[in-house]
Structure 1
Amino acid sequence: MPPVIEFTAPPLPHYILSGSSYMPSGGKHTNRKNIGVFDLLVVVYGCLYVGEGDREYEIKEGHALILRPDNHHYGVTGCTEDTLHHWLHFQILGDWNVIEEEIYQQRQWSCLESQAPGGVSLPAFSTTPYTVQLPQFTQLAQPQKMIDTISELTEMNQHIHLASVRFKQQALFQDVIMLLSASLRAEGPSPQSACAEQAAAYLREHYREPFSAKKLGENTNFHPVYIARCMQKVFGCSPSAYLIRLRIEHAKELLLQTDLPIERIAEEVGFNHAAYFTACFTRIEGLSPRKFRQWFSWNRG
């Protein structure tokens, strides 16, 4: 069974950098030793075959692996299919150690058995350290939420020269830690998470189509009201708002990678009216599509 990474906080883990990597069939993970930072790998689709020390892992869709900063990791074999994964480098500035999962489970049972009926009181006016456990290898309880969070962190790297953005990244990165920690405790996705993930997957595949709560419900076999409640809990927004976010993300790619006019881009990502597209884009990104394209073209030049 894969081990558990345990650390003491404060201080909290520190986000460094993130990105995504596409590997065609036959592509192989990098061979590296003692890189000095933790490397989180989250597979979107396909499968990565990665080894660390004497352990080998198959990181399938919706799974995550944390590579340690003090170990040797390498590609076991090439991908057997096209594979996309997100990577995220972070550092734990305080104490941390690795424990085998069997020992972790025994400790959890011991804590439950020894817990006082009235709870535990902490000393006032003092900082009380606590421990956090992360699974080194896991099937994520909320894979799409993890993917969305890392994607948002990566997108923010374009403004990393701003102190306010770096501060926001550190706060958002704690959601990644929470999602990993929750996956260690979860026996499987909750019904709400499963519903939200299934609805999000449908919207990602059909983001160009007009939104229909009824059609979404029919294709996921959940009542539209239940879907909305689940997506609000898991993603913090309604299905229609999630769809707009998806369209804006695709629009940003087209703005930066093509010379298509704004009106055509709006149509390509599913907006019927360019004015509504511009209003949604400006509200979410803080600047218009035209200024977004100009700003990044100028900075790249």
Structure 2
Amino acid sequence: MSDPTQVPDSPDTHGSTDAHGSTDAHGSTDAPTGRMPALFLSHGAPPLVDDVRWVSELKELATKLPRPRQILVVSAHWEAAPLTVGATDSRVPLTYDFWGFPQRYYDTTYDSPGAPDLADAVAALMPDGQAIHRDETRRLDHGAYVPLTVMYPEADIPVLQVSMPTLDPTTLLSVGRRLRELRDQGVLIIGSGFTTHGLPFLTDSRPNATPPGWSVEFDAWARERFAAGDIESLVDFTHKAPGMPYAHPRTEHFAPLFVTLGAADEPEDIPDQVIDGFWMGLAKRSLVVN
């Protein structure tokens, strides 16, 4: 698969420093935390924070990770081309990009520090001459802040969100490769989506609903392809995966996976499948890659 907008690999190295200098009021310092992994998280809707199992799984995952100096999130809920860097001012309100939920979900706050230096580093890692947009009016959406409220509830780690400039897996792999070196600066890269997301085809919306066959089949296929390091099949999932197109009537919730895989040492490396199971019939399989 090819795309004329594919981002080539970068030979350059760009350092990243803390968003607030050597030491700030949130306790962040220039002391290195070591190389961070990259994650693909199935985040779901805001009510996932009420799911005891998912919350416990995310909390346990966070305890096993090195503490990040900064966090960079690519969410299924922000598509914008060219690649766009979100707000770096923590005073900008969160993006409540959902509707029809109880008011308490709109009252959620996550006042993590901004990361302007990380925004600069991301821009510097993109190809020379490629336009990078900045949107200082758009802060974290629920694909970013919902899992972070569980994993890092103190909101004391600088967080930056960037857009997906395309849904093409090959291009997103290249974006991930360009971001890879940020891991050496203590940046935790998170692709936030959902392993299956066939909302229009769900007939039972209870959290403990029996998953439909298309969700089970796609999840089983994904589990096998991850275990085999079969990046070629994953890239061509729209044609090779069972359960399509029901599992992903649009592919935006699987697309962040490819930024994560691109940020791996090698995309074919076998990831650690740290979370599985279903919520509301959707597969919430999540990965850690090194």
Name the TM-score, length of structure 2 as normaliser: 0.25
Q: Name the structure with the higher helix share.
A: 1
The answer to which structure, 1 or 2, has the higher relative contact order (CA under 8 A, 6+ apart) is 2
Q: TM-score, normalised by structure 1?
A: 0.24
Higher radius of gyration, 1 or 2: 1
